């Protein structure tokens, strides 16, 4: 299994354990354990579908011999009344996995739908869309997967896969150049050196990096810069390193930022402001 599948398997195990506890007594009390069933996922709201592959993995993990038939794929546009998939398995399996599948797919589809609305606004521009670490604890794996399905790009997954010097790191360290120098030395001594991104709060910070540390930084974050200030910062940087605009970016102003030519814009709201898409799993008896 790849790293995603390993992490998903762990997530499913923990989620089922949380939900089932000592047993699904509602099902155990009235459904024979050998009874087979069939269920279809009904789409009740338009948007971008996400989580089909996750749903398949959940049911296969619960019952390896279950039969999962997909009628839609991740990233498809969906409309009310459509059917996304059909699952044939033991009824106990279907009812055990129902809420987990719906919770994952509804949440993921909401994120993919919102992300798609942002990426649609960036068509024709050089600028690409990033997510952030503003995620639900223990659900980041699927929230970031949904961003990718919606057309966005994952920023660092956690604190371990990039060095990102934010305002607090810089203030605790005693200054932006001091922080960069220490981070560069630290990364250079790692077996697999990490990329370094630095948050800047004003044009003075940008100028300091350009003058003293341009060869030690991979990307500059322009935090809470207006589009006009982003354009000024890009002139100073002159294409020498990657640039990212962050803070206060939404659908009403994202094209203003894209017009500056900045490489990336990051939007935390892709995840924490997304609204779930309405889906339902309806079961039927199989002889």
Task: Report d(CA 23, CA 56) in Å as an integer.
Answer: 22
Any idea of the CA torsion for 81, 51, 146, 114, to the nearest 10 degrees?
Answer: 10
Chain center to CA of 146 = 5
Task: Please tell me whether residues 59 and 75 are part of one structural domain.
Answer: yes
| Domain span at 78 | 16-113+275-285
Task: Please tell me whether residues 101 and 139 are part of one structural domain.
Answer: no
CATH number at residue 179: 3.20.20.70
Give pLDDT, residue 285.
62
Q: Which of 134, 148, 182, 195 is catalytic?
A: 134
Residue 182 in any domain: the answer is yes
CB 146 within 8 A of CB 109: yes
Residue 223 main-chain phi, psi, to 5 deg = -90, 125
Residue 2 in any domain: the answer is no
CATH number at residue 66: 3.90.1170.20
Give pLDDT, residue 230.
98
Q: How do residues 155-198 score in pLDDT, each as one tens digit?
A: 999 999 999 999 999 999 999 999 999 999 999 999 999 999 99
Which segments in the chain show pLDDT lower than 70?
Answer: 285-287
Any idea of the CA torsion for 12, 41, 98, 5, to the nearest 10 degrees?
Answer: -10
CB 149 within 8 A of CB 75: yes
Q: What is the 3-state secondary structure (H, E, C) of 200-216?
A: ECCHHHHHHHHHHCCCC
Q: What is the 3-state secondary structure (H, E, C) of 26-64?
A: HHHCCCCCCCEEEEEEEECCCEECCCHHHHHHHHHHHCC
Task: Please tell me whether residues 197 and 71 are part of one structural domain.
Answer: no
Residue 4 in any domain: the answer is no
Task: Please tell me whether residues 98 and 225 are part of one structural domain.
Answer: no
Residue 3 in any domain: the answer is no
Alpha helices in 122-253 (DSSP H): 140-149, 167-173, 176-188, 203-212, 227-237
Q: Report how many domains make up the chain.
A: 2
Residue 5 in any domain: the answer is no
Picking from 146, 108, 143, 84, the residue whose alpha carbon sits closest to that of residue 281 is 84
The reply to whether 134 belongs to the active site is yes
Task: Please tell me whether residues 266 and 148 are part of one structural domain.
Answer: yes
Give pLDDT, residue 1.
78
Residue 1 in any domain: the answer is no
Residue 10 in any domain: the answer is no
């Amino acid at each position: 299994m790849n790293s995603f599948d390993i992490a998903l398997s762990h997530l499913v195990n923990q989620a089922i354990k949380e939900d089932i506890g000592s047993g699904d007594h509602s099902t155990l009390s009235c459904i024979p354990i050998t009874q087979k069933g069939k269920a279809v996922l009904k789409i009740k709201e338009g948007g971008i579908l996400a989580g089909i592959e996750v749903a398949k993995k959940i049911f296969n993990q619960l019952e390896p011999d279950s039969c999962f038939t997909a009628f839609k794929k991740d990233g498809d546009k969906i409309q009310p009344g459509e059917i996304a998939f059909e699952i044939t398995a033991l009824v106990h399996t279907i009812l055990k996995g129902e809420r987990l599948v719906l919770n994952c797919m509804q949440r993921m589809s909401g994120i993919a739908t919102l992300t798609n609305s942002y990426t649609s606004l960036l068509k024709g521009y050089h600028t690409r869309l990033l997510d952030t670490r503003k995620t639900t604890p223990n659900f980041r794996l699927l929230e970031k997967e949904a961003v990718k399905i919606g057309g966005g790009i994952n920023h660092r997954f956690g604190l371990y896969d990039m060095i990102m010097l934010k305002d607090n790191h810089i203030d605790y360290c005693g200054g932006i150049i001091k922080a960069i120098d220490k981070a560069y030395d630290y990364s250079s001594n790692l077996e697999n050196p990490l990329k370094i991104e630095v948050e800047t709060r004003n044009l003075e910070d940008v100028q300091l990096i350009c003058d003293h540390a341009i060869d030690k930084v991979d990307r500059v974050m322009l935090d809470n810069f207006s589009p006009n200030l982003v354009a000024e910062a890009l002139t100073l940087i002159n294409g020498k390193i990657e640039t990212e605009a962050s803070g206060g970016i939404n659908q009403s102003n994202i094209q203003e930022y894209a017009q500056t030519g900045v490489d990336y814009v990051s939007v935390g709201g892709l995840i924490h402001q997304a609204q779930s898409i309405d889906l339902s799993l309806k079961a039927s008896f199989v002889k």
